[in-house]
Chains A and B, each alone.
Chain A
């Protein structure tokens, strides 16, 4: 018996929620970044699950293509983000997000 696609969606939602929680409530910048990657991953899962629902091949290909690109973008984003972290760390000696509040009033 196949797994209903709905289950995948629920799982993805759960993963996303977990990732969101971490992104919003962890002080460590690296951890937040990881949580964001988690969220991205959950989104990819959603996309793939949806593409499974459609019979038409071109549609399924489209769904997976989007994931492909999302993956690439995630990579680029991770690289730049980490470079930023390095730069910040050199300046401020900390990754604690609560201490990185120069853009305040």
Chain B
């Protein structure tokens, strides 16, 4: 029995863990923890073993394991898993980072009343996420897609006793729904035209008939373009791009491990995964691909500016996530699919690390999240500080840490494709990223502590169960970039392992290689991006390194409008509230009025009136016609008899006269007839 035969366990184990903790097990901490860690803990080695076998060619590549087939009439949907280069990368990221975060959460959530519930949801999430990345067809992926959306809602609203978390959970779910709708439309289009949703057969069919896919279809787009756009709108929702990003900052209301796992490392990357998976469609519709890259770039810049003015440690990281996701879409949009997945992976490590570090800080300060009340925590939380520093350098894009390689590859891809504007925006954003991250680092860990003395006294480093995952993630943040070193840096030696690994999945249509850059240009770009990052750090040092929090006030004094706009997130939430939310409430109220007035009023009451009217009429009829007839008969009898009895005069002679007349008549008749 090889690991590949047991591949389905990778997905099944987390679900089993969720079921056990959610439905059956008693709330004993040791038992709950064992199951909660055991599920992803066993899932990880199973996946790695399967990957090892796959990588060594023991199984056919790609590997598919079909559990059963659902015959939905004309459409046949297998419930099956696909292990190919792309899903291999995804499953690795999800299981490794996921497991580490689970371990961390054991420490973070210890003592909370909902400990068991938390891990049930976390395991459920893992199962759904693995279903998403390992599904071999759009529908299985979509089931996972919806599943992670559900878990996101459950976990954002985990502290449901408070007022804001449930609202944030609802917001996330509803905004995601908008995207999901477009995803469904895209799926319907694909299923109706190609009769299948399985990735391999579907994309092969599309690639086999590029002319058909490129022919005009709907809304001025080709078929491929239409589907690509629909799928991207779904990705907009799930991966928090403009305009559907608004749920992610509010999602920080959930516990910090949730923010790390779901809203940094895994769930939000599902959109990127999906776009890369369907790269055939994007290759066939360059307009839509460019749109994707444009949206990504705009989002990256937009979110980075906002991050610069936030005072909540988690909010800064949230906007940072949105910004980095934008980067990934830039990569996907310009055709640098490998770069996008590369950045997905490296970002998972350092962003998870940043969030867990933030969690450690929050835990140490007993729930404080405002960076204006922090400072000087480097000495108090050394492990946290150290790993946080590593992550900050990584995200800033300083080589040889992970972030540099992936970010640089995206920028190179944009430049190589001739999208200089996108490259420029990306470069600018890189500088901003370095700047706001350095600001965060400075204000939290350096300088003097600005909180209360009581908080200072309570501050302590987190237990090992929390710091060990931090260290392990830091290792990843440092080394993860080394799987994709561009050939330019290695002076011709091709050490870009990831590029080769993912090649089969992201092959350009029509054969050939993607346009590359000469080594010279590459070096120029490298130097530029590193320089920009360093510049960002220096700016941050001069502003916040010297003056600490006061720098914020100085900037606010100098550029009040800018400061206010950024701090208020460009008032996007307010705009949505005024338009979409109010509009929906208004429509609901209108429909309610319609229901009350017309349905209830007209139809129900109208029916009532009608029925009463008919009953009245019927009663009328009965009373006057039917009874009338009866009364008529009676009246006739009475009147008739009253008339007839006048013949009874009591005068015998009259009777005799009548008799005589009758006799005469009869006799006369007799005579006449004879």
Binding site for B on A (CB under 8 A): 20, 23-25, 32, 97-98, 100-105
List chain B positions with a Cβ less than 8 A from chain A.
645-646, 648-653, 656-657, 660
| Minimum distance in angstroms from A46 CB to a CB of chain B | 14
Nearest CB to that of A98 among chain B residues?
Answer: B651
Query: What are 9 A-B contacts with C-beta separation under 8 Å?
Result: A23-B653, A23-B656, A98-B651, A100-B652, A101-B650, A103-B648, A104-B649, A104-B650, A105-B648
Cβ–Cβ < 8 Å partners of A32 in chain B: 653
Task: Report chain B residues within 8 Å CB of A24.
Answer: 653, 656-657, 660
Expressed in whole angstroms, the minimum distance between the Cβ of B110 and any Cβ of chain A is 113
- Which A-chain residue is minimally distant from B645 (CB atoms)? A105
Residues of A contacting B652 in the complex (Cβ-Cβ under 8 angstroms): 97, 100
Nearest-neighbour CB distance to chain A for B183, whole angstroms, equals 98
Beta-carbon contact of A105 and B646 below 8 Å: yes
Closest Cβ of chain A to B154, distance in Å, is 97
B650 cross-chain contacts in A, Cβ below 8 A: 100-104
The 5 closest A-B pairs by CB, nearest first: A101-B650, A104-B650, A105-B645, A105-B648, A103-B650
For B651, list chain A residues within 8 Å (CB): 97-98, 101, 104
B653–A101 CB distance below 8 A: no
Q: Are the C-beta atoms of A25 and B660 separated by less than 8 Å?
A: no
CB distance from B648 to the nearest CB of A (A): 5
**Complex contacts, B648 vs chain A, CB 8 Å:** 103-105
Q: Which residues of A contact B656 (CB under 8 A)?
A: 23-24
Which residue, of B646, B650, B657, has the highest number of chain A Cβ atoms within 10 A?
B650
Given the complex of chains A and B, what is the CA–CA distance between A104 and B653 in angstroms? Answer: 13
- For the complex, what is the distance from the CA of A97 to the CA of B651, rounded to whole Å? 7
Query: Which residues of A sit under 8 angstroms from B646, Cβ to Cβ?
Result: 105
A-B contact count (CB 8 A): 29
Residue in chain B with minimal CB distance to A20: B660
Taking A25-B653, A100-B652, A104-B650 as given, write out 5 further A-B residue pairs in contact, using a Cβ cutoff of 8 Å, ordered by the A residue number. Answer: A98-B651, A101-B650, A102-B650, A104-B649, A105-B649
Contact assessment for A97 and B653 in the assembled complex, using a CB-CB cutoff below 8 Å: yes
Evaluate contact between B657 and A101: CB separation under 8 angstroms. Answer: no
Task: Tell me how far the C-beta of A87 lies from the nearest C-beta in chain B, rounded to whole angstroms.
Answer: 16
Return chain B residues, CB-CB under 8 Å to A100. Answer: 650, 652
Shortest CB–CB separation between residue B445 and chain A, in angstroms?
126
> How far is B537's CA from A33's CA once the two chains are assembled, in angstroms?
155
- Given the complex of chains A and B, what is the CA–CA distance between A101 and B646 in angstroms? 12
Q: Tell me the minimal C-beta distance from A82 to chain B in angstroms.
A: 16
Q: Which residues of B have CB within 8 Å of A104? A: 648-651
CA distance A23 to B376 in the complex (A): 150
* Min CB–CB distance A40 → chain B (angstroms): 15
Shortest distance from the beta carbon of B1 to any chain A beta carbon, whole Å: 118
A17 and B591 alpha carbons, distance in the complex (Å): 101
Measured CA separation A103–B656 after assembly (Å): 15
A27 to chain B, nearest CB (A): 8
Q: What residues of B have a CB within 8 angstroms of the CB of A25 in the complex?
A: 653
Shortest Cβ distance from B663 into A: residue: A20
**Across the two chains, which residue of chain A brings its CB closest to B649?**
A104
- A12 to chain B: closest CB distance in Å? 15
Considering only CB atoms, which chain B residue lies closest to A103 in the complex? B650
Name the residue among B645, B651, B660 with the largest chain A CB count within 10 angstroms. B651
Task: Give the distance in Å from the alpha carbon of A32 to the alpha carbon of B657 in the complex.
Answer: 13
Nearest chain B residue, comparing its CB with the CB of A32: B653
- CA of A20 to CA of B645 in the docked complex: distance in angstroms? 26
- How far apart are A88's CB and chain B's nearest CB, in angstroms? 12
CB distance from B165 to the nearest CB of A (A): 99
Closest to B641 in A: A105
Residue pair B660, A101 in contact (C-beta under 8 Å): no
CA distance A101 to B651 in the complex (A): 5
A84–B648 alpha-carbon span in the complex (Å): 21
Query: Complex formed: what's the CA distance from A102 to B648 in Å?
Result: 10
CB distance from A21 to the nearest CB of B (A): 10
User: Which residues in A have their C-beta under 8 angstroms from that of B657?
Assistant: 24
Among residues of B, the one whose C-beta sits closest to the C-beta of A29 is B652
For A23, the chain B residues whose CB sits under 8 A away are: 653, 656
A83→B649 CA distance, assembly (Å): 24
Contacts of A98 in B (CB 8 A): 651
The CA-CA distance from A100 to B646 in the complex, in Å, is: 16
Bound Cα distance A23, B654 (Å): 10
Taken together as a complex, chains A and B put the C-alpha atoms of A104 and B645 apart, in Å, by 8
Least Cβ–Cβ distance between B144 and chain A, in angstroms? 102
In the assembled complex, the Cα of A103 lies from the Cα of B651 at a distance in Å of 8
A25 to B653, CA, bound (A): 7
Closest to A36 in B: B656
Nearest Cβ on chain B to A96's Cβ, whole angstroms: 11
A104 to B656, CA, bound (A): 15
The CA-CA distance from A62 to B622 in the complex, in Å, is 71
Measured between beta carbons, the chain A residues less than 8 angstroms from B653 are: 23-25, 32, 97
Residues from chain A with a CB closer than 8 A to the CB of B649 are 101, 104-105
| Cα(A69)–Cα(B649), bound, Å | 34
State in angstroms the CA–CA spacing of A11 and B657 once bound together: 22
Give the distance to chain A from B652, nearest Cβ to Cβ, in Å. 6
Shortest beta-carbon distance from B199 to chain A in Å:
108
Among residues of B, the one whose C-beta sits closest to the C-beta of A26 is: B653
How far, in Å, is A103 (CB) from chain B's closest CB? 5
- Who on chain B is nearest to A25 by CB? B653
Chain A: minimal CB distance from B639 (Å): 13
Q: Which residue of B lies closest to A104 (CB)?
A: B650
A57 to B652, CA, bound (A): 41
